[in-house]
């Protein structure tokens, strides 16, 4: 091939549209915000001490009642342990689903192929599923301990969980909407 035929074939070959700066910036911003929500929710689930109550009573995800507390754990708290299984399962599963959603968001940006839009959409849907799971777990936790909430205060890790739930929703909705806008 001569140089002229190479130049002609380059000019006639269809060009793939390059991503705009603003689109890439928003995708990176959504991905970083999703990563922050995963970190916040992971910290709050691992720590698990969401409610600090008077007299050194512990109301957390993993330990509902500490054994050496005064007054000792009674029968009403025994019913809470069964409800906490649902809360633990829900919020832990939400973190796992959000990690997979974040992975799909990152892969859709790194591998710019024909399936990147589907990966982005599926990652956003997984973040919305993580929102539903974590908000369900958080609401069940508040409903189970509604009588102790008036006498105590939420801890910083509960605020991290609440912020993580909000960011799951915000990232999932904005990711889907952004995917729809760039269609």
Rounded to whole angstroms, the Cα distance separating 43 from 2 reads 62
pLDDT band, very low/low/confident/very high, at 145 (cuts 50, 70, 90) = confident
CA 59, CA 83: separation in Å to the nearest integer?
Answer: 12
What pLDDT score does 183 carry? 73
pLDDT of residue 90: 95
Dump pLDDT digits (tens) for 38-61.
999 999 998 887 877 655 556 677
- Domains along the chain with CATH numbers: 20-181 (1.20.140.150)
What's the predicted TM-score (pTM) here? 0.81
58-74 burial by CB neighbour count: b if 16+ within 10 A, else e? Answer: bbbbeebbeeeeeeebe
């Amino acid at each position: 091939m001569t140089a002229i035929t190479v130049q002609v074939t380059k000019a006639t070959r269809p060009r793939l549209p390059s991503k705009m700066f603003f689109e890439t910036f928003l995708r990176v911003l959504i991905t970083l915000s999703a990563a922050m929500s995963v970190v916040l929710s992971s910290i709050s689930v691992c720590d698990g001490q969401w409610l600090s109550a008077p007299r050194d009573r512990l109301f957390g995800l993993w330990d509902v009642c500490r054994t050496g507390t005064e007054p000792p754990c009674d029968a009403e708290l025994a019913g809470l342990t069964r409800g906490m299984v649902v809360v633990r399962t829900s919020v832990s599963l939400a973190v796992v689903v959000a990690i997979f959603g974040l992975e799909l968001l990152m892969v859709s940006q790194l591998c710019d192929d024909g399936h990147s839009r589907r990966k982005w959409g599926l990652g956003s849907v997984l973040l919305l599923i993580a929102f539903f799971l974590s908000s369900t777990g958080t609401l069940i936790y508040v409903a189970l301990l509604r009588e102790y909430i008036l006498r105590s205060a939420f801890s910083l890790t509960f605020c991290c969980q609440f912020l993580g739930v909000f960011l799951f929703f915000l990232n999932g909705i904005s990711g889907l909407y952004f995917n729809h806008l760039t269609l």
